[in-house]
Structure 1
Amino acid sequence: MNLIQYLWNASIRTRIFLRRRMPTNILLDKIRTRKGLKWGVPAMLLGGVYLFAAAMCITLIDRGWHPALYLLFFLLVWNGLKFFGIGPVSLYLLARARLRERRTPVFSG
């Protein structure tokens, strides 16, 4: 096996681990289900909380705290953007699901 295959397999395993174990990814997966689509727009508020926390990290760094907080800053910004993005995506998926449900005939027997 060459280096590219090792890197490819490592990236796949990392993605699977992050998808199954990280709380934000678990929550976003639950929002993408049919029952959870209604929570997409309220989840955008959580994105605002993440971005506020990121701003607090920058403030702390400016006041002399350790620059390692930049790592936390990037994580908070990334999670905030994920939650801001799920709002419009969930609205689109909800509209598509409702159109599909409307087109499907209901048989009562």
Structure 2
Amino acid sequence: MFRLIWIASVHVRYCLRRYMPSNIVLDLIRTRRGLKFGLPAMLLAAPYLYVAYLLTGLIGAGGAGWLHLLVLACVWNAMKFVLLGPVSVVLLARVRAREWRERRDLRRALPVLV
């Protein structure tokens, strides 16, 4: 039984990582070239929160109970984008500091050609 649950969770995670638009965007932002887009990506949380607001209005007006799952998914994706902004700034600072140190060490190691 545990093996089946484990395998099912692996397959669900694979599908979510591979095909869900928010996860694709987050994976692209986590690359070295995409780190600079972390703060603007925080703005993508607004549409998710707006959809969650609309869905809660539908639920309040007598909508189906399964819409709660969509609200939860929208809020979760919004939180991921909001947290990605500060994290990407820290990661970008670390990467740039490491690149600066490598360039400095390379300049020190090369003989002066005059």
User: What range is the shorter-chain TM-score in?
Assistant: 0.7 to 0.9
1:44 aligns to 2:42 (yes or no): yes
Distance 1:90 1:16 in 2: 23
Q: Would you say how many aligned residue pairs link Structure 1 and Structure 2?
A: 107
| Aligned equivalent of 1:72 | 70
What is the RMSD computed on CA atoms of the aligned residues? 1.8
SS at match of 1:34: coil
| Aligned equivalent of 1:21 | 19
Q: Percent identity?
A: 49
Distance 1:23 1:77 in 2: 15
TM-score between both structures, scaled by the size of structure 2 = 0.84
| Gap regions ≥5 residues in structure 1 | none
- Map 1:87-102 → 2, pairs under 5 A: 87-102=85-100
1:62 aligns to 2:52 (yes or no): no
| Greater C-alpha Rg | 2
TM-score between both structures, scaled by the size of structure 1 = 0.87
Distance 1:13 1:72 in 2: 20
- Look up the equivalent residue of 1:47 and give its one-letter code: A
